[in-house]
Amino acid sequence: MRKIVLFLLLISFSFLSSKAQNTPKIHTVGAMKDMGTTYPLEVWLDTLPDKSNMFAMGPYDKMKGEITVFDGKPFFATAFVKDMGVVSQSWDIRSPFFVYSNVKDWEEFTLNGPFNSTQEIQEKVAALAISKGYDQKEPFAFRIAGKFNQITAHIVTPRSPEIEGYRPDVKSQKFFLENNNGELLGFYSEQHQGIFTGSNSFVHIHFLKDDQTFMGHLDEITSGTQSYKLYLPKKQALVKTVMQVNDTDFSKGRLGNIQNIDLDDLVKFHGHLCDGLVVGHLALQRAMQELYSDGIVDRTNTRIVSKASPCLTDAAIYLTGGRYQFNTFYISNNMDALFTVQRIDTQRAVAVHMKKGLKPMEIDQLGAMVVKGELSACDLDKLKGMEDNFTELLLSTDPKDNFTLTEITDFKWSPVLKNDYIKTDILNKNKTKCQ
């Protein structure tokens, strides 16, 4: 039982981290398994709408060779003459199946050699991607750059006499390369077998020599023991959580210390990532965007009334700079809104509400049971799973749809001192594990 719960927790956590961040989408046209013997051409590269930073691969035309698009440059290679590979460039080419992705920013990692097969590349890339927080269930492109001891690569050749470049009884031309600098471009997917990977592989890899005199489909490799540069697509948060703030620059300083604060910073301040914290962060981001339309928030010029929850209050004081002891922060549960935020110089005040029905009711129901001490250790884990899913929803849907702003024209600042709220996020701090 314990194992099952741990497993479920792991699932919900990886779900959370993967959905809060994503990598550029992989597109496919046609499929390896549907080429038959006639190789119908499914895509004309010229017609693809966005070629910027495109990385792609597929066969060239009716098996006339290989296509590799490298950062928006469309290379195609043919081997119409024995042992002679020819690399050209054009968008005016077609392919029976094609996989592509537009990757603007890459993250650089170190991949240690040796790797001596495509299978080993697949395993090493997956392991590194997982360790860096990538979701290997989602397809992604990767690149490996360096000097490779030995590479065997092929360029396919036409299968029927009416196609240009046909050579009887030759289906592809193998090339053997030694000590070449270049880059491997790969597509990794656990769900595209028969589409763009073989039936027992999760990768499709092409090799391009640095001097662009050779390009082909990778068959065999003996890398070398040195380290290589591995590039993975940079992850992007689906919802922008960063906020620019203008603070003073020393203990008696002036405004002008402009810095970015992000959800991660708030998480460290608060102690953990939770749904309430994300609600607070996104709700306040909305309010501050409204009050500071130039995009830079002045935390010395803002005061706030917050609901009492430990998550919302932490978000309130961190993001607005409001503090109880300076009369710029107090708590009220006698309002509909999560927060009412006021810009002091203009006196403009807005209230932020979360859309009704957005938060699953069970979360609050189970939350109320926690306060009464009625929730078992295992139910607690269930609640965490629900909250993580809600967090994921918040971070993958437009905050403009989830939070509404109301202008408060007759806002009255009525601070109260009250310090007997229950800090609900520490009630179970010594609770035993779910057995």
Contacting positions for Zn ion (CB under 5 A): 217, 274, 277, 311, 425
Residue 189 contacts residue 143 (beta carbons within 8 Å): no
CB within 8 Å of 325: residues ≥ 6 apart: none
Closer CB to Zn ion, 120 or 247, in the complex? 120
Could you tell me which of 167, 158, 151 has the C-alpha nearest to residue 216?
151
Minimum distance of Zn ion from residue 344's CB (angstroms) = 28
CA-to-CA distance for 73 and 75, rounded, in angstroms? 6
CB of 3 to Zn ion, least distance (A): 27
CA 213, CA 207: separation in Å to the nearest integer? 11
The nearest distance, CB 278 to Zn ion, in angstroms, is 9
Q: How far is the CB of 58 from Zn ion (least distance, A)?
A: 7
Please, which residue, 103 or 311, has the CB nearer to Zn ion? 311
Measured from the CB atom, is 151 or 311 closer to Zn ion? 311
> Is the Cβ of residue 22 or residue 201 nearer to Zn ion in the bound state?
201
- CB-based contact 275:317 (threshold 8 Å): no
Q: Give least dist CB 196 to Zn ion, A.
A: 8
Cβ closer to Zn ion: 63 or 405? 63
Spatial neighbors of 266 by CB under 8 A, at least 6 apart, are 277, 281, 314, 315, 318, 319
- Look up residue 167 and give its amino acid: R
For every residue of 31-73, DSSP letters joined together read -GGG-TTT----EEGGG-S--TTEEEEEEETTTTEEEEEETTE
- Write the DSSP string, 80-136: EETTEEEEEE-S--EESSEEEEE---EEEEEEESP--SHHHHHHHHHHHHHHTT--T
Output 298 or 425, the one with its CB closest to Zn ion.
425
Report, in Å, the least distance between residue 11 CB and Zn ion: 21
Q: Which is nearer to Zn ion, 247 or 379 (CB)?
A: 379
Q: How many Cα atoms occupy the beta-carbon half-sphere of 199 within 13 Å?
A: 1
φ, ψ for residue 227 (rounded to 5)? -95, 155
Our CB check for Zn ion shows the closer of 261 and 311 to be: 311
> What is the token pair recorded at 413?
């600042």
d(CA 29, CA 100): 9
Q: Report the alpha-carbon distance of residue 105 to residue 345 in Å, rounded.
A: 40
Shortest Cβ distance from residue 73 to Zn ion (Å)? 17
Amino acid at site 222? T
Which tokens belong to 209? 């020599």
Q: Which is nearer to Zn ion, 57 or 145 (CB)?
A: 57
CB of 425 to Zn ion, least distance (A): 5
Nearer of residues 176 and 269 to Zn ion, judged by Cβ: 269
Q: What minimum distance in Å lies between the beta carbon of 2 and Zn ion?
A: 25
Q: How far is the CB of 151 from Zn ion (least distance, A)?
A: 14
With vertex at residue 117, the alpha carbon angle to CA 116 and CA 118, rounded to the nearest 5 degrees, is: 140
